[in-house]
């Protein structure tokens, strides 16, 4: 493949953004993607004309991903998920889901004292880092009890995807709740594939050369450059490399790096089980959303808010925020059955109208939960024991969660890779 200034390994959102950022300096950038398509976990699938993301995907309107995509020229439309048909499920009963202060005051989900405690907790949230080393579960218990505790825990789960609140940093949880509360989220018309496709167009327009179906296998130093050995092709030589892949993959590519081994061992991933369903007809048009109060479950009719359903089809994303080993191996069947039952309670008889059903038992939503024991911090972008080597992804971000973390780290890694070239030019 010859030589390039910056090689980016991985063509998900993070790799595409890192490549675009590096190319903005005029550097020659080559991106290698293992699969035949770009986008990684942000790709969507089209079934019977309807678009399904890989599990529920909502873009944080005030987050780093939305801001960066806009800066890079990506545009999109869509809508915030709000309707009167949102429900909280508690002790087997459905209650209207409070989504505003007024809704909180009116709900029959909580008693008066719980409402006051919860309103106080929600209005007292700040962006400071004082709670970064406190587990989210402990922080929630300090603020509220009983059903209000269940409610606040459910809000944390839906905005962070994390069910393991004993390990999650309360500071990270609070910042994510504020992000969700301040500007909210948006379901994107055409699914996240639209974001991927536009981002790929703008990345290519910056001169980035993209090689699909090319899995990087090994990195080594040769003649002062990085030699990228990839499957089925000639090696690529680069002055700087961005690893925009999962931490275990990064370490497998650079097995000599103690830094990457330590990071891969320390990361605690966030997993979710996802039931993605398209229905020809909606059995119950008055049910759009369920959030479990005493379960870690979620259901949302994405097609009620974004253009993802074809010819009036309904697109549901149903999910469970998993703890520990839940959903692994034989346990997947139980989780699937419980998610189908959740959909049945919302949409009785849905199976008669099903056009397409897909169950993804243990998706990696994020490679690294911001841990209370590490003050919510994740791996740095620069690989400490290898110069000119950088990481990008949800595990290498110093701020944000989910796609915001993946993109924030890509912004940093792209600029650092560029910096390596500038330093070489000066030397």
Ligand X SMILES: Cc1cc2nc3c(=O)[nH]c(=O)nc-3n(C[C@H](O)[C@H](O)[C@H](O)COP(=O)(O)OP(=O)(O)OC[C@H]3O[C@@H](n4cnc5c(N)ncnc54)[C@H](O)[C@@H]3O)c2cc1C
Q: Which residues of this chain interact with ligand X, rule CB under 6 A?
A: 9-15, 32-35, 40-42, 54-58, 60, 65, 215-216, 244-245, 249, 272, 274, 363, 365, 393-394, 402-404, 406
Least distance from ligand X to the Cβ atom of residue 396, Å: 9
| Cβ closest to ligand X, residue 136 vs residue 186 | 186
| Cβ closest to ligand X, residue 109 vs residue 321 | 321
Task: Tell me the angle at which helices 13-23 and 192-205 cross, rounded to the nearest 10 degrees.
Answer: 20
Task: Tell me the angle at which helices 136-143 and 112-123 cross, rounded to the nearest 10 degrees.
Answer: 130
Which of 257, 288, 230 lies closest to 390, judged by CA? 257
Least distance from ligand X to the Cβ atom of residue 413, Å: 11
| Cβ closest to ligand X, residue 5 vs residue 394 | 394
Least distance from ligand X to the Cβ atom of residue 34, Å: 3
Residue in the structure block whose two tokens are 């990345």: 203
Least distance from ligand X to the Cβ atom of residue 15, Å: 5
Residue in the structure block whose two tokens are 């996802």: 274
Distance CA 85, CA 301 (A): 10
Which of 144, 172, 143 lies closest to 156, judged by CA? 172
Which of 2, 11, 13 lies closest to 403, judged by CA? 13
- Cβ neighbour number for residue 411 with a 10 Å cutoff: 21
| Cβ closest to ligand X, residue 40 vs residue 114 | 40
145 and 110 Cβ atoms separated by less than 8 Å: no
Distance CA 18, CA 12 (A): 10
Least distance from ligand X to the Cβ atom of residue 315, Å: 14
Least distance from ligand X to the Cβ atom of residue 394, Å: 5
| Cβ closest to ligand X, residue 15 vs residue 171 | 15
| Cβ closest to ligand X, residue 149 vs residue 271 | 271
> What are the two backbone dihedrals, phi and then psi, of residue 175, each rounded to the nearest 5 degrees?
-65, -35
Which of 2, 3, 8, 103 lies closest to 416, judged by CA? 8
Least distance from ligand X to the Cβ atom of residue 120, Å: 28
| Cβ closest to ligand X, residue 144 vs residue 289 | 289
Least distance from ligand X to the Cβ atom of residue 109, Å: 24
| Tokens linked to 114 | 């719980």
| Cβ closest to ligand X, residue 281 vs residue 358 | 358
Distance CA 185, CA 242 (A): 29
323 and 59 Cβ atoms separated by less than 8 Å: no
121 and 152 Cβ atoms separated by less than 8 Å: yes
């Amino acid at each position: 493949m010859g030589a390039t200034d910056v090689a980016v390994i991985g063509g998900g959102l993070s790799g595409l953004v890192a490549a675009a950022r590096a190319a903005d300096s005029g550097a020659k950038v080559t991106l290698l993607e293992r699969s035949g398509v770009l986008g990684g976990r942000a790709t969507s699938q089209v079934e019977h004309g309807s678009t399904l993301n890989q599990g529920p995907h909502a873009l944080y309107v005030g987050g780093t991903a939305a801001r960066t995509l806009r800066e890079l020229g990506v545009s999109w439309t869509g809508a915030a998920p709000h309707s009167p048909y949102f429900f909280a499920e508690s002790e087997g009963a459905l209650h209207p889901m409070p989504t505003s202060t007024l809704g909180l005051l009116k709900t029959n989900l909580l008693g008066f004292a719980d409402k006051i405690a919860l309103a106080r907790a929600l209005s007292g949230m700040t962006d400071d880092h004082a709670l970064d080393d406190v587990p989210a579960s402990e922080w929630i218990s300090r603020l509220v009890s009983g059903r209000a505790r269940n409610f606040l825990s459910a809000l944390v789960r839906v905005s962070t995807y994390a069910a393991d609140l004993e390990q999650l940093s309360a500071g990270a949880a609070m910042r994510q709740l504020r992000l969700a509360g301040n500007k909210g989220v948006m379901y994107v018309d055409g699914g996240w594939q639209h974001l991927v496709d536009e981002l790929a167009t703008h990345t290519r327009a910056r001169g980035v050369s993209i090689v699909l179906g090319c899995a990087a296998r090994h990195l080594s130093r040769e003649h002062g450059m990085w030699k990228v050995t990839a499957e089925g092709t000639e090696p690529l030589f680069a002055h700087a490399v961005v690893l925009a892949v999962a931490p275990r993959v990064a370490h497998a590519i650079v097995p000599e790096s103690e830094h990457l081994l330590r990071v891969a061992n320390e990361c605690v991933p966030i997993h979710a089980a996802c039931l993605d369903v398209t229905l020809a007809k909606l059995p119950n048009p008055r049910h759009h959303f369920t959030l479990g109060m005493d379960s870690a479950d979620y259901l949302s009719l994405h097609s009620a808010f974004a253009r993802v359903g074809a010819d009036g089809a309904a697109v549901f994303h149903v999910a469970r925020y998993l703890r520990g080993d839940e959903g692994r191996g034989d346990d997947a069947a139980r989780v699937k059955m419980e998610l189908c039952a959740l959909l049945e309670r919302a949409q009785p008889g849905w199976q008669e109208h099903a056009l397409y059903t897909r169950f993804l038992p243990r998706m990696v939503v994020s490679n690294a939960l911001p841990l209370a024991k590490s003050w919510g911090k994740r791996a740095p972008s620069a690989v400490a024991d290898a110069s000119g080597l950088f990481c990008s992804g949800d595990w290498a971000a110093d701020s944000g969660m989910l796609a915001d973390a993946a993109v924030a780290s890509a912004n940093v890694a792209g600029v650092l890779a560029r910096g390596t070239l500038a330093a070489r030019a000066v030397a």
